[in-house]
Structure 1
Amino acid sequence: MSGSGWLRGARLVVSGANGAAKSDDAGDIAKSFPAVHGVSYRPEIDGLRTIAVGSVILYHAGVPFVPGGYAGVDIFFVISGYLISSIILGDLAQSRFRFLNFYERRIRRIFPALFTVLAASTVGAWFIYSPGQLDEYGKSLVATVAFAANIFFRMRTGYFNADSENSILIHMWSLAVEEQFYVFFPIVLIALHRFRVIGRNPALVAIAVVSLAWCLYQEAVDPVANFFSTPARAWELVAGALVAVNRASWLRLTAVRRDVAVAGRVAELAGAALMLGTIFMATISTRWPGIATIPVVAGTALVILCANSTSILGRALSLKPMVTIGLISYSAYLWHQPLFAIARATSTQALSGWAIGAIIALTFVLAWLSWRFVETPFRSRQKIGRLLIFGFGITVSGCAAAVGLALHFAQGVPSRFDKQTLAMAASIQTSPYREKCNNGEGLTYLSPEKACHFFGSRVTWAVLGDSHGIDLGYAIAERLKGSGQGLVQLTFNGCQGGLTFDSTMRQCSAWTRDAVSWLEQQRGITHVLLAYRHSSHLFGDQMHTYPMVPDAHPPGFELNEKADVAREKYWSDFVTVVQRMRNAGKTVYILQPIPELPMPIERYIFGRNHAAVQPGTSMAYYRARQAWVLARLAELAKRPGVVMIDPVPAVCEATRCLAIQNGMPLYSDDNHLSLPTARKVLRIAEAQGKLP
């Protein structure tokens, strides 16, 4: 996942007389720093890159046996820290470090392949994205060029959300982390070299400890922000820098002490076990980065420190296939996510095994072409001089930013589509207070006392839940408007509603406890609608697996518990909320599960299929997906004062549930009903005698 974590080791690959891969920059390092650090081209590093990029690609492909493949980014971070620190230290040792030279190298290594992929991605986005999606893509393009993609995607989504796998440029977050890190890290190494008030090792260890401490703190309070945070990732790059500082001493020690050499062989194998163990054992539910990240970082550092061309692991990593893939790993990383995202955006189902295999193969074909005809020529200082390379960097950055801004200010260029399509998209309505009155993950939340009230002054209704309650709650408020009664909206986007467990979503559980307690005290509120997307909270998002029914560990809480135990805790808390509302004298209305679509409604609309009726999914899928929840809701329905509101009649026929009916979208995305559909749900419930 690291856009430049391997960065070819700041290498220019050429072919030697014996056919072995060699590195111009590795040679530079060896010449400038031979006696102190003994840095030279290490084919095992390319092999290590192969493990890293392979795990990342397989993870994004959805291959089940590498659930922790995202840990490949951390391997890349350590490699990058080692190699870039080696370059800087080598230049400092020869008193030839210049920021101009440093950033020239960065431009040569990063920009050519990056902007080739960005150009191709923009063409793909133009043809497959709706106006809203293309607008968002344009902003992500600007963020990528500004090396701020980590900040952009932190504000938009979580890396493990279903939406993220359909984002063409989400993988650019790691490129941003590295470039932000390399703004200040050369200054640190220069200061340590010149002033020597404190040794390199104590200083780097101190930086790593502070960064790791921040990472562990953020892991607990804000795991989503932690994932994209440069300060929370810095310790991983510094781990590589510590190896760069100490490897020469380690090599000298192993040369004179056999026991240390033997320990090194054991250590490199242990390091490999730590890396692979993390890749195969971490899951989407593992908080990352955090405590679980330490083994893969430590393991990578041990392999880089101890492996060499004569060790068993070193020889395995230096095999020609491993080195070959490692050489093109930067380009492979850049290409794989756009290819997967575009393929998923044009498919109504999860990608088949054949499709995944074809995409992976195409990834490596494009990676080789990029490496051979884009990366390699730009690394030649003889072919492309400094002035030209800086001019190239400024020009392509400016052009890409201009394109991104143009797509944004043109609102995704809706003129690409015909009037019928645009009219259908414009017909989607949601609550006008969706953003203002809904809580989201943050440092603070909208307290129940300050929650939005609609419309009458005498509040008799409340909606409590996640975002599935927003539009239905607003529709109820509309219905009450003529009677002078009002409704209070108590919703928190994506919140599981835990009372006895803590959600990984910041402030979610605290808000739930406050909201439930507050409602108990409001005697005037006699009707409470509970609306939650239970199956997503309990089994994961359907777009990851459709048409297979997802069966993941609950993704947002009790990550260390067994899945069944976590689910029972969730349901016990939900039943407790129902009972507390009943004990407070309130009638409880429970929204039964909303049928989910296999893809967002925009893809039905902008897929250039103008059929007045478009099926979303089958009733068989709905029943299978919701079986666990429906069985438990059936038990709750037997309690007095508990009323079930069923959305199925509003969107489903006998054998299928619809995405579009009579030319009108029934949803606002893949799982939220549109406001008109929410009104229809209430009309049906009223006709059934379920509403007062």
Structure 2
Amino acid sequence: MDSFRTDINGLRAWAVLLVILFHFQVPGFQSGFLGVDVFFVISGFLMASILYRGLAKSTLSLPAFYASRMKRIYPALIAVCAASLVLGWYLLMPRDYMALGAHVRESLLFSSNYRYLSEAGYFDTASESKWLLHTWSLSVEWQFYLLYPLLAMLLYRLTRHHRTLLVGTLLIAALSLAWNIHTIQVAPDRAFYGFPGRAWEMLLGAAAFHLAQLWRPERRVGLALHLGGLASIAVAACLVTPASWPGLWALLPTAGAAALILGNSHSPLTAGRFWNWCGERSYSIYLWHWPVVVLLHYFLIATNPLWVVAGLAASALLAELSYRLIEQPCRGRMARFSSWRTIGTVFTVAVLLAGLGQTVRRSGIPERLPDEVIHLADEARLSNPRQDECLDHDSECVYGSGPVGLILIGDSHADAVVNAMQSALEPRVGGILFKGESDCIPLPGLQGNEPDDRECEQLAAGIPDLLAQYPGLPVLVVSHWAAYANYGVVEPDREAHFFVPGGARHFSERWFQEFDNWYLTSLCRISQTHPLWIMRPTPVMPVDVASVMGREALVNRDIDLSLPRHQYDLDTAYIRDLQDQAARQCGIRILDPIATLCDEQHCVAETSNGLPIYRDDNHFTEYGNRLLIPMFQSMVLPGVTEDHVGAR
């Protein structure tokens, strides 16, 4: 760059403020996530500036380029990762600490975007427990840094005219955008996290550089571009929603950012002490604010306005300290290093810390915790020990001894109760054959929206043949029906996980009509050849119960984690009504765990002796499923009570 661009620095300030106000859930900034898209455009412009000017002067050195990027990105990132591991040592349960170790490793190796792609989405509530979730964008940028210099060198070999370079860059950007738009329809998380679907935003910034070499707008036009670009970003922040992002809507803020950069103008909206401070420290603000957000959620104070203000202040303070004590000193000291020495030093430190993260990933180091907390974190009692073996569409597992006397089909909710069923029923029915897969509807006739749903379809397609092998045996279906049916809520813009082939793919009135018909037909078909039970939906708790109980034990605090009964009734009304229809039409019997889990006011989260009923917010622990033994015994023992079972 010829000189410091105060307008770009101010644009950085806009971007980081949008992001942090969104993450702190400040009203009016529900779309602040688009600040990341603005950052991508800025990065693309600056990288093109560095690379093409180096190529034009024959001074470009790839080691020097990567060394400069490492000096800029790694020191503060290493500090955040190290601080997270230290805090996690004192605050996190083993499962959570294991996850943090993996996230540290992936963040330092700049592959965290694909790690988070395999986990819950960016906009899911589970994201609030991931200390390094925000590093996904750094991973995308670093992947751009690795590939874009090679592309720039190739294009420069083909032509040195910025007009042709502009056209070539825009064509590649258009391919990336097209890939993104297509992927949103079939795998929205991949479109969000994946580099191919994000590259167009950085290439748009690169195109802005080439256009700037061909056209220098006069002052009035430049100011119009400057103000118009900011207006586009502001309008986008008011209009867009997380659904199907980035997609075409992302053109509004990214084109706005490119327009501002092209304008090369100034206004009080980007220049001044405040904007300069935020812009210069934008990277540190971005890095440090998210762990503060996670801490607020950890202590369940993220919605308290006073704590939100305190969190914003803490983020600013940490950013200032990071900028003065880490960013600037490291860049200054490493300025005396050769490129290869910089790369070697930074890479060595990063790999060592990533290795420490991998060590944490292996066990979560439970020895660091007090005995009473370790008891709450006992994995053998939180999850079914045979989960990895049996919760798989290719597996058929028998629980108990003797010939198979009952078939259990379902998803992870079925896996979470099968050991209680074995304890309750083995003396009377013999073995329990379990067939299921996590996050899958276990009955045939539906199609999934995701490529991974092919396994669900394979599981479901094999159920009729499985049942035919055991004619007349009782069957129990346990599944997270309420969640698959969106808790009965019509959301025409939200894509359903599963749908009837050829039918509606979004949660609309039509989708629910088609699901109703499919559900009743499927269950009635089984009931014609097998005695059939279905289980009522179980509560979805407001928090990750086992983790929060462990956290509260660590900080010596006791809070109520129960779910209001009226919320359970509201969440499950649709599927319970549908189950009642199945019982009336087909003679299906219904198991109802709510008499055990809830009273008239609340659905409890822990047993009477203080153990977690749920290992997360909706799956039973091996402590919790014991509470359902009387319900399962009622399937075969005399004196059946209508509290638990009946043809409703």
**What TM-score do the two structures reach when normalised by structure 1?**
0.79
The 1:194/1:422 distance shift into structure 2, 3 A limit, reads same
Residue 668 of structure 1: how far off its partner (Å): 1.6
Q: Secondary structure at the match of 2:615?
A: coil
The 1:494/1:352 distance shift into structure 2, 3 A limit, reads farther
In structure 1, the residue matched to 2:233 is 275
CA distance in 2, matches of 1:474, 1:277: 54
Residue 342 of structure 1: how far off its partner (Å): 2.1
In structure 2, the residue matched to 1:24 is none
Residue 567 of structure 1: how far off its partner (Å): 7.3
Contact kept in structure 1, 2:44 and 2:206, CA below 8 Å: yes
In structure 2, the residue matched to 1:371 is 323
Residue 601 of structure 1: how far off its partner (Å): 0.7
Alignment pair present for 1:425 and 2:385: no
Matches within 5 A, 1:37-76: 40-76=3-39
Aligned-CA RMSD value: 3.8
In structure 2, the residue matched to 1:4 is none
CA distance in 2, matches of 1:181, 1:383: 24
Matches within 5 A, 1:115-514: 115-196=78-159, 199-251=164-216, 254-255=217-218, 262=221, 268-284=226-242, 286-309=243-266, 314-347=267-300, 350-380=302-332, 384-386=336-338, 389-390=342-343, 392-409=345-362, 411-426=363-378, 428-438=381-391, 446=393, 450=394, 452-455=396-399, 461-464=407-410, 466-473=411-418, 475-476=420-421, 479=424, 481-482=426-427, 483-484=429-430, 486-493=432-439, 505-508=450-453, 511=456
Residue 47 of structure 1: how far off its partner (Å): 1.8
Q: Secondary structure at the match of 1:596?
A: coil
Give identity over the alignment, percent: 25
Contact kept in structure 1, 2:478 and 2:534, CA below 8 Å: yes
Q: Secondary structure at the match of 1:318?
A: coil
The 1:537/1:581 distance shift into structure 2, 3 A limit, reads closer
Partner amino acid for 1:357?
Answer: V
In structure 1, the residue matched to 2:597 is 651
Partner amino acid for 1:430?
Answer: S
Residue 438 of structure 1: how far off its partner (Å): 3.6
Write the deviation string for residues 569-600 of structure 1: whole angstroms up to 9, x where unpaired: 34761563134312442635132332514233
Residue 83 of structure 1: how far off its partner (Å): 0.9
Q: Secondary structure at the match of 2:30?
A: coil
Partner amino acid for 2:475?
Answer: H
In structure 2, the residue matched to 1:616 is 561
CA distance in 1, matches of 2:272, 2:24: 25
Partner amino acid for 1:580?
Answer: S
Residue 147 of structure 1: how far off its partner (Å): 1.5
Residue 635 of structure 1: how far off its partner (Å): 6.5
Residue 269 of structure 1: how far off its partner (Å): 4.9
Partner amino acid for 2:297?
Answer: R
Partner amino acid for 1:534?
Answer: A
Contact kept in structure 2, 1:128 and 1:342, CA below 8 Å: no
In structure 2, the residue matched to 1:678 is 625
CA distance in 2, matches of 1:569, 1:109: 50
CA distance in 2, matches of 1:495, 1:79: 44
Q: How many residues align?
A: 618
CA distance in 2, matches of 1:571, 1:623: 25
Contact kept in structure 1, 2:38 and 2:253, CA below 8 Å: yes
Of 512, 526, 538, which aligns to 1:593?
A: 538
Write the deviation string for residues 48-80 of structure 1: whole angstroms up to 9, x where unpaired: 112211121122222353222222111111110
The 1:354/1:108 distance shift into structure 2, 3 A limit, reads same
Contact kept in structure 1, 2:487 and 2:571, CA below 8 Å: no
Alignment pair present for 1:633 and 2:566: no
Contact kept in structure 1, 2:442 and 2:463, CA below 8 Å: no
**What TM-score do the two structures reach when normalised by structure 2?**
0.84
Runs (5+) with no aligned partner, structure 1: 1-28, 31-39, 440-445, 541-549
Contact kept in structure 1, 2:545 and 2:612, CA below 8 Å: no
Residue 629 of structure 1: how far off its partner (Å): 2.4
Partner amino acid for 1:573?
Answer: F
The 1:518/1:267 distance shift into structure 2, 3 A limit, reads farther
Which segment is superposed worse, 240-249 or 625-634?
Answer: 625-634
Runs (5+) with no aligned partner, structure 2: 499-503, 635-639
Write the deviation string for residues 456-484 of structure 1: whole angstroms up to 9, x where unpaired: 765753433x4323223554466554535
CA distance in 1, matches of 2:238, 2:454: 31
